[in-house]
């Protein structure tokens, strides 16, 4: 009898958690953003039409802005999340105000926006993947729109995201290598099928060893809502980018506390590939906030937002190198840039 009561109590508690989360998400969706020109400091809402749908985004313009070209960081929410949960979780607005860059938080797609939104990252996730939503085309169109609207430095466009958003950041690195200088997947993985970048792209990744959704050693993980995620191991994902960028295979390894930093340098056009391993880290944005009340707790051993910004500042886009040029470099018929 006691076990039955305890089982019922746990089930009721889980139901209450889900109901609470739905109301929290709904509240986030209803909070209005500041209006006005996109060049005015603060938060703005916007939309573009793509693929027969109206796609929305949030934009943050830094407090100190003199009209000169600034970097742009694209932050992609996780599966079932929203632009506002990505803003809250990453703390990127505060970083933008301090360092001086634009931040855009696009919304994914789903059957009941702004709920249950996902990204079509190639092998995952949800409605966007099963419905073959053209999220790559949406992000390309969004970047073009923002470059036409804002003074953005075209050599300093970066993409990050968590979970399904981290997977999408990797896919953007594959598909928009002509535009994006670097990507920073957090608790994400790479689906290599169809991934054929035309240019080198620097990568900095953040993965926890106790992530049960995106398993550090690869395989099928499970999210808190029961969704199954099948991923390559972190080492396989990193190797793909190391090989693509023609980085040196020798790794520079640093360890401090629960953080292991591995750097592969010497890539084409000064590109690097770096992976931060968080020992004991879970499925969360290191140094950030929980996107939902029952989400896993972020590690406090490192701030992913601070670390990726430092990485981005050292890896702008230089002149493009195509795969044909890279192949010529590989066989020694031309010099490495």
Q: In what order do the strands lie in the sheet with 252-256?
A: 42-50, 53-61, 102-106, 70-76, 152-162, 182-186, 202-208, 273-278, 259-264, 252-256
Query: How many whole angstroms separate alpha carbon 171 and alpha carbon 192?
Result: 9
What single DSSP character describes residue 312?
A: H
The residues spanned by each domain of the chain are: 35-284+306-330
Residues sharing a CB contact under 8 Å with residue 265, sequence separation 6 or more, in sequence order: 247, 248, 252, 272
User: Would you say 83 and 106 are in contact if contact means Cβ atoms under 8 Å apart?
Assistant: yes
Q: pLDDT at position 223, please?
A: 80
**Upstream peptide bond of 125 is cis (omega within 30 degrees of 0):** yes
User: Would you say 238 and 215 are in contact if contact means Cβ atoms under 8 Å apart?
Assistant: no
What single DSSP character describes residue 116?
A: S
Query: How many whole angstroms separate alpha carbon 319 and alpha carbon 257?
Result: 38
Q: How far is CA 158 from CA 68, 144, 226, in A?
A: 18, 14, 31
- Work out the burial of residue 301: count CB atoms within 10 Å of its CB; fewer than 13 is exposed, 13-18 middle, 19 or more buried: middle
Can you give the C-alpha Rg of the chain in angstroms? 20
Give the global pTM: 0.84
Q: pLDDT at position 329, please?
A: 39
Element spanning 21, H or E: helix 2-30
Q: pLDDT at position 319, please?
A: 67
Q: pLDDT at position 277, please?
A: 98
Residues sharing a CB contact under 8 Å with residue 319, sequence separation 6 or more, in sequence order: 269, 337
Looking at the domain that runs over 35-284+306-330, which CATH code has it been given? 3.40.50.1820
SS3 56: strand
User: Would you say 23 and 2 are in contact if contact means Cβ atoms under 8 Å apart?
Assistant: no
Residue 103 tokens, joined: 């931040």
Per-residue pLDDT tens, the chain, 337 aa: give them.
Answer: 323 322 323 333 343 344 334 433 433 333 333 334 566 768 999 999 999 999 999 999 999 888 899 999 999 999 999 999 999 999 999 999 999 999 999 999 988 777 789 999 999 999 999 999 999 999 999 999 999 999 999 999 999 999 999 999 999 999 999 999 999 999 999 999 999 999 999 999 999 999 999 999 999 998 876 788 999 999 999 999 999 999 999 999 999 999 999 999 999 999 999 999 999 999 999 999 998 888 889 999 999 999 999 999 999 998 655 544 444 434 443 444 4
Q: pLDDT at position 39, please?
A: 61
Q: What are phi and psi of 185, to 5 degrees?
A: -70, 135
Number of H helices, E strands in the chain: 9, 12
- Among residues 114, 244, 221, the alpha carbon closest in space to that of 164 is found at 221
């Amino acid at each position: 009898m006691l076990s039955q009561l305890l089982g019922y109590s746990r089930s009721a508690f889980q139901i209450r958690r889900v109901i609470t989360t739905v109301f929290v998400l709904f509240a986030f969706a209803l909070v209005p953003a500041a209006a006005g020109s996109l060049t005015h400091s603060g938060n703005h809402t916007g939309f573009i039409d793509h693929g027969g749908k109206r796609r929305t985004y949030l934009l943050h313009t830094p407090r100190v802005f003199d009209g000169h070209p600034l970097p742009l960081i694209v932050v992609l929410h996780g599966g079932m999340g929203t632009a506002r949960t990505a803003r809250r979780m990453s703390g990127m607005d505060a970083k933008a105000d301090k360092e001086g860059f634009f931040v855009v938080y696009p919304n994914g797609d789903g059957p009941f926006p702004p709920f249950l939104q996902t990204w079509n990252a190639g092998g995952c996730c949800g409605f966007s993947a099963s419905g073959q939503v053209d999220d790559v085309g949406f992000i390309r169109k969004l970047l073009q729109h923002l470059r036409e609207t804002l003074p953005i430095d075209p050599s300093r466009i970066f993409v990050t995201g968590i979970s399904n958003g981290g997977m999408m950041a990797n896919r953007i690195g594959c598909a928009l290598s002509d535009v994006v200088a670097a990507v920073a997947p957090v608790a994400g993985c790479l689906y290599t099928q169809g991934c054929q970048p035309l240019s080198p792209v620097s990568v900095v990744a953040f993965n926890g060893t106790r992530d049960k959704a995106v398993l550090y050693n690869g395989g099928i993980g499970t999210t808190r809502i029961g969704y199954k995620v099948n991923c390559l191991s972190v080492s396989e994902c990193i190797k793909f980018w190391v090989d693509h960028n023609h980085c040196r295979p020798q790794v520079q390894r640093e360890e401090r506390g629960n953080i292991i930093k591995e750097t592969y340098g010497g890539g084409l056009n000064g590109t690097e590939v770096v992976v931060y391993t968080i020992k004991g880290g879970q499925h969360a944005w290191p140094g950030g906030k929980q996107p939902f009340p029952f989400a896993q707790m972020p590690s406090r051993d490192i701030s992913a937002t601070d670390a990726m910004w430092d990485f981005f500042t050292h890896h702008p886009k230089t002149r493009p190198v195509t795969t044909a040029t890279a192949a010529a470099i590989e066989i020694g018929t031309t010099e490495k840039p």
